[in-house]
Amino acid sequence: MLEIGIFCVILLAVGYWATMFIMGRRDDVIHGKFVHAEDEGEFAPVAMPAPPPFPKRPVKAAQRPAAQPAGTEAKPVNSAALQSLLAAIQQDLKSRP
């Protein structure tokens, strides 16, 4: 298990080295330094431009409630209809093995 861990660390280091070499950062690969002391004076942070203003939320017109089609009117349910439905469901449940 220890050998696998050591192998993974070495593999990670080789992958990192190869990535830096391919990306053109050969000085970093060879010397292992990312910030050079002589380059510190030349660095000046670039001022970021102000972000554009956030757009206003569009105003939606008041929506009317969706009208139901004429053929699907809701009918009041009576207790006799519910009792017959319950009896049919119970009959189906009893008939299943």
Of 87 and 76, the one with more pLDDT: 87
Residue 4 has pLDDT above 90, yes or no: yes
The Cα 74–Cα 68 span in angstroms is 10
Distance of CA 78 to the CA centre of its chain: 48
**Domains of the chain: which residue ranges?**
1-35
The Cα 54–Cα 60 span in angstroms is 18
Indicate whether this model's pTM tops 0.95: no
Question: At 68, which helix (H) or strand (E)?
Answer: none
Residue 43 has pLDDT above 70, yes or no: no
The Cα 92–Cα 97 span in angstroms is 10
Residues above pLDDT 90, as percent of the chain: 20
Whether residue 26 contacts residue 35, with contact meaning beta carbons closer than 8 Å, is answered with no
Mean pLDDT of the residues in the chain: 76
**Beta strands in 1-97, from DSSP E residues, in sequence order:** none
Structure tokens at 52: 């554009």
